[in-house]
């Protein structure tokens, strides 16, 4: 795998930014996106996509960034369930999770990259 491009993209949330890479292989190409927590510089979301033909994204790295944010949300969901001793979501626990400040923050960042960010 040969890295062909490496950029930082600022999100609407000052806590997180995205590090995106393009790569080439013998059979195709792809994108890697990592959501980086700015304070600790730790990767909190990761997504890799292999492409074999042309993609139809609104801007470069859109699918990879949204996948990384979704990965971040899923990790937080598991952490939240463990912290709150929840095995399965009921309507009540799902509402509690959706009204959690960190959940709202992640979903707002997802919406930003889906609808507002123009690359």
pLDDT confidence bin for 18, thresholds 50/70/90 = very high
| Percent of the chain with pLDDT strictly greater than 90 | 74
Helix (H, G, I), strand (E, B) or coil at 92: helix
Q: pLDDT digit string (tens) for 54-111?
A: 767 788 899 999 999 999 999 999 999 999 999 999 999 999 999 999 999 999 999 9
pLDDT confidence bin for 51, thresholds 50/70/90 = confident
């Amino acid at each position: 795998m040969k890295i062909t491009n490496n950029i930082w993209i600022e999100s609407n949330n000052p806590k997180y930014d995205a590090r995106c890479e393009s790569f080439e292989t013998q059979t195709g190409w792809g994108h890697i996106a990592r959501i980086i927590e700015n304070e600790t510089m730790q990767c909190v979301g990761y997504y890799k996509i292999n492409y074999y033909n042309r993609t139809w994204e609104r801007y470069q790295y859109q699918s990879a960034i949204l996948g990384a944010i979704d990965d971040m949300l899923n990790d937080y969901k598991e952490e939240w369930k463990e912290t709150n001793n929840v095995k399965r979501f009921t309507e009540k626990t799902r509402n509690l999770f959706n009204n959690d400040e960190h959940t709202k923050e992640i979903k707002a960042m997802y919406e930003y990259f889906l609808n507002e960010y123009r690359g």
